[in-house]
Structure 1
């Protein structure tokens, strides 16, 4: 088989901004910000701020007398975030690891973590650090996918299931972090207030290929010997024939210090 397996791996900053701008991305981010309830004069923290997609909204929330701190460990992401927020004097960007946040203890009123805990070495340690830097009465909003719930419609159901298993076992570090959020947050000392679940649905094959990595992860699965090459190519080619459907569960948890 010579089928091209999807789009190349995108630039990470572009990938994050495109995902945030998608209909599903805008919907859950709007809900996340509503639940976070940022108010004028507060200090808001965005852990794993990436290219800064959410920093302008946080800046609007805290107003001219508040403060927004964006933390990311990737200098390239921070450079893009800095470019995006040059005209927002309340935004301060700091390079640092989520396990050892460069933030003074007990100084944060609102904090958010969006699709970042699935990548870290120890989500529980990150949440404990967030408990340390937030003040009593602070609010924390978390949003993470549960990749065990990824479904991709195809006649070859076995390969669709194998693709999900490969995603959860080899592609994403903490693939089931979504379902664990409330438990881990409570263990870190937070009081859980709200648990929501949304189901982003993809009916456009190209958008799903970009966001879910259908082609590039099929290629990895073949290279790792997880999928037979002919089967993998045939499965991926069938997805483009349409109609297309894929979905997963995105969990949002809001808690207080």
Structure 2
């Protein structure tokens, strides 16, 4: 295990739900860590040096000094959570021991989040906030499927005696789902439709690790927008994100065409 006394961990992130997962967990564990804030509008996450860390050019990713003394690169939000508890939570405060029923259940819910709620809510956000023209079918498709997925979480939380997703304690699964729930309104979703989820979300919002981690590397924009009564700040926030998202998609398409031409030559 790497030495906790020195900040060997560097978190590569920006203000997104997936980035929040990593920073909230790091705050919960009390691990010293450095932060590199990516500038999506400047495409720093697509630069060669970062692609050596995360070949997919997404966030979050972390670098750490592994037990062999060499640097290790961990990417994909679910794997970042898994790595951090395996390396830095030997007492299983935020997960459950290998081979236990709760461990298997925990990772079922974690995979459900990263493969289900995350992608569908992300697409709901994209078609609501980023695409200049509104496409009713896409809006209905992704928003309704996101609502269905939240109904699965609602059922799980409504029958939980301790009001946590898995077992009787706060775990990395709660972190993963909370980070998405915090941006649900930005995807056109209303958590009040899911009373157990709303109560769980509100209760966890008071947790110090969430208060700190959600604001890394900058204040949480979507939560701040809840106080935007006239909608002007929301419009500016939406326009800013639309510009870099659409520019990024154009840049990726151009690079793909360049790669095709190079392969053909």
TM class by shorter-chain length?
under 0.3
User: Going by fraction, where is strand more abundant, 1 or 2?
Assistant: 1
Query: TM-score, normalization: structure 1?
Result: 0.28
